[in-house]
Amino acid sequence: MDSLDEESSADTSTPRSDRPLVAIPTTGNSDAIAGLILRARDRGHDVVVVSDESRYHESLAFADRLDAAIVTVDRQDDEAERKKRLRQYAKQHGFPGVIYHEDPGEPIDFERSSTIFRESNTYLVESQNSSRIESKPTVLAAIPAYNEASTIDTVVKQTANYVDKVMVIDDGSDDDTAAAAREAGAVVIEHEQNRGYGAALKTAFRQAEHSGAAHLAVLDGDGQHDPADIQRMVTHQQRTDAEVVVGCRFDEAAETDIPLYRRFGIGVVNLLTNLSLGVVRPSSRVRDTQNGFRAYDRRAIKSLAADETLGDHMGASTDILHHAHANDYDIEEVGTTVDYDVENGSSHSPLQHGLTLVSNLLTTIERERPLLVLAIPGFVVSCIGIGFGYWTFANYINTTTFPLGLAVTSVFFTLSGIFSVFTGIILHALKQHLRAIDTGL
């Protein structure tokens, strides 16, 4: 254990790290300190825990096990003296500076703290806490955003008219999206790098669960969605007690002019998504499965915040519907307006996006419904193969000439069908086994 009163023999000619040292005062919150050390390490920072030499905390044991430096100070030192000695310690050990985090119970925004350190002329800077929703809003709006600096301020200001709090999840934008959203009045949660639409949604669910929000409305940051629809969606949710309300572009109340190619593509994806959910009856189908404009109640927020199976990319919208279906949630739809003529709309190619969704859905259908997708079609293919086999032998008996082409076709269809049947049965048995394990049976 080092002491700040002692001269260090560390070599200062070679910097120990190119990132500032993170300094944390000892508190009784040992779990918070342990978590903070791990998060700092993940981001390339060394950590020093500052301890009053007259006291022992469990957090010191945690710090020692996590190989964090522990330094002691005189209990009579005031904050200014402690910071002075921290500067001395960091310089002696070759660090370019210090980020001082006063309250370990609050998460550090490492990116903002590092930016302030780089832009300042001081050796020690105060940390910047990550944004959090501290109040308990009835309706919280979450806006995933990636390079939406030109539109996010307008979207935030318009959305604020219909909700209690607006939260923007900046998914590693290269532009000024975070600054523009913050200036417009939103609470901004920043990802250090682009992690995907699904990852932004997962952050939104966790923040909404932490804040205690009764309703979470999710909309895009490019201006395609009309924030005024939030009020109708939440009102419908309160009236029907549905856990999930999905905005629907095909509803009679919707004022959306969908291009023909989009309408066709959405129709295909809707069909496959409903099949993957096991929904066949038209009256039970979700008509707009890929609309990201949605509202979630408290029950859905809590379960989605804890769901680690949600994907990080665009397929998360479908994953959420599967989650709702698995938890027997009610899914209602409300007509919403989508404007496809906005500037800087979605940067995703509709064709590429559609192909990716179809591929993911086919994989999901195969995994979730192997009997329907593999076993039953396999049985039909086997029957076709047997038919070709009958035709083969009938020709041979009548002509005494063996029809090789028909024979090969018969063998191919029969073996393919049998393989598909057994694959479907095995996957179904495996699925049932895994489900039994998950439910503890």
Third-level CATH fold of 139-365: Spore Coat Polysaccharide Biosynthesis Protein SpsA; Chain A (3.90.550)
Q: Which CATH class, in words, describes the domain spanning 2-126?
A: alpha beta
Q: What is the pLDDT of residue 3?
A: 45
Q: Count of CB atoms within 10 A of residue 411's CB?
A: 14
What integer pLDDT is reported at residue 385 of this predicted model?
A: 93
Show me where the domains of the chain are located: 2-126, 139-365, 369-438
What does the pLDDT read at residue 362? Answer: 58
d(CA 441, CA 439): 6
**pTM for this predicted structure:** 0.61
Three-state SS sequence of the chain: CEECCCCCCCCCCCCCCCCCEEEEECCCCHHHHHHHHHHHHHCCCCEEEEEECCCCCHHHHHHHHCCCEEEEECCCCCHHHHHHHHHHHHHHCCCCCEEECCCCCCCECHHHHHHHHHHCCCCEEECCECCCCCCCCCEEEEEEECCCCCCHHHHHHHHCCCCCEEEEEEECCCCCHHHHHHHCCCEEEEECCCCCHHHHHHHHHHHHHHHCCCEEEECCCCCCECCCHHHHHHHHHHHHCCCEEEEECCCCCCCCCCCHHHHHHHHHHHHHHHHHCCCCCHHHCCCCCCCCCEEEEHHHHHHHHHCCCCCCCCCHHHHHHHHHHHCCCCEEEEECCECCCCCCCCCCCHHHHHHHHHHHHHHHHHHHCHHHHHHHHHHHHHHHHHHHHHHHHHHHHHHCCCCHHHHHHHHHHHHHHHHHHHHHHHHHHHHHHHHHHHCCC
pLDDT tens, the chain, 441 aa long: 444 443 333 444 444 668 899 988 876 567 777 878 888 888 889 998 887 765 556 767 777 788 888 877 776 777 778 888 888 889 998 899 999 987 776 778 888 788 888 888 889 988 877 766 666 889 999 999 999 999 999 999 999 999 999 999 999 999 999 999 999 999 999 887 898 999 999 999 999 998 999 999 999 999 999 999 999 999 999 999 999 999 999 888 777 778 887 788 888 888 878 877 877 677 778 999 989 999 999 999 999 999 988 888 878 888 999 899 989 999 999 999 888 776 655 555 555 555 665 566 556 656 667 777 778 888 999 999 999 999 999 988 888 888 898 899 999 999 999 988 888 788 777 766 656 655 554
pLDDT at residue number 332: 96
